[in-house]
Amino acid sequence: MRIKRLFIVAAWLAFAVVVLLSVLFLAGIVLVKWSHLVFNTSTCEPLGIYQLEGSPFPLHDGEMVEVQIPGPAHHPAVAEGLKYHWFPAGQPWIKEIAALPGQTVVLKRQGVWVDGHYLPNSHVDRRTPGQKHAIIHYPFGTYHLKAGQVWLYAPGNYAFDSSYYGPVPEIHILEKARPWRVIPGSQYWLVKRSD
């Protein structure tokens, strides 16, 4: 009889723990949605949670934003990234705006210059980490951004930004973003090889 009672108590405790964990999980989802929080797991920006702050317009260079992924049909680098699962399809990205319409961008293997100012850690990689795949990049050259175009930048090692897929339409910018709880320096954890 005593073993049966212990079994019933243990079953009720297990049930209560499962219910409590479920409630906490659902509350976490509601909190994330209500607080406009998103998770960044890429090496483009520091790993962690970012808070979305509404309309990004008017845009300013240096601002951090949430961006809709450019379409793979028009960007071979994006198609390549999706093919090799470098990032999930349809998930928005956190990037910085490096240049706006009217600004000049120079793209070289050594990196990116906007109106003559070098963007730190913007070297264009030839291969993925571990040298497994060659990486498609945007053609090297000088670009004068037209109305409705922005150049995106991410300072992390192996960051996937406009150096690989070129300028993107302003309409791809979804919201302003700011770091909420991130791991400083985590965008540099994957060590970059110079080539």
User: Torsion over CA of 115, 120, 126 and 128, rounded to 10 degrees?
Assistant: -140
Q: What is the pLDDT of residue 162?
A: 95
DSSP assignments along 39-62, one per residue: EE-SSSS-SEEEEE-S--PSP-TT
* Lookup result for tokens 């993107």: 168
What single letter denotes the amino acid at residue 97? Answer: I
pLDDT of residue 193: 60
pLDDT score at 2: 72
Spell out the residues 6+ positions from residue 112 whose beta carbon is closer than 8 angstroms to its own.
Answer: 98, 105, 106, 118, 119, 122, 151, 153, 162, 163
Q: For strand 149-153 and strand 168-169, is the pairing parallel, antiparallel, or unpaired?
A: antiparallel
The pLDDT-based confidence of 125 (bands split at 50, 70, 90) is confident
Q: How confident is the model at residue 34 (pLDDT cuts 50, 70, 90)?
A: low
The conformation of residue 186, written as its DSSP 8-state character, comes to G
Contact (CB, 8 A) for 7 and 1 = no
CA–CA dist 113, 99 (Å, integer): 10
pLDDT above 60 for 194: no
- Stated as kind and residue range, the H or E segment containing 114 is strand 111-114
Residue ranges of alpha helices (H) inside 1-132 are: 2-34, 76-83
Mean pLDDT of 87-100: 88
Q: What is the pLDDT of residues 172-191, one digit of tens each?
A: 999 999 999 999 998 988 77
Residue 114 has pLDDT above 90, yes or no: yes
pLDDT confidence band for 126 (50 / 70 / 90): confident
Q: Contact, 99 vs 151, CB < 8 A?
A: yes
Does residue 66 register a pLDDT over 80?
yes
* Average of per-residue pLDDT across 55-78: 88
Is the pLDDT higher at 43 or at 58? 58
State the residue for tokens 């963007």: 119
Q: How far apart are CA 76 and CA 105, in angstroms?
A: 20
CB under 8 Å, gap of 24 or more: what pairs does 80-83 form?
A: 80/133, 80/135, 80/136, 81/160
**What are the residue ranges spanned by the domains of the chain?**
35-188
Architecture in CATH for domain 35-188: Ribbon (2.10)
What pLDDT does residue 192 have?
Answer: 66
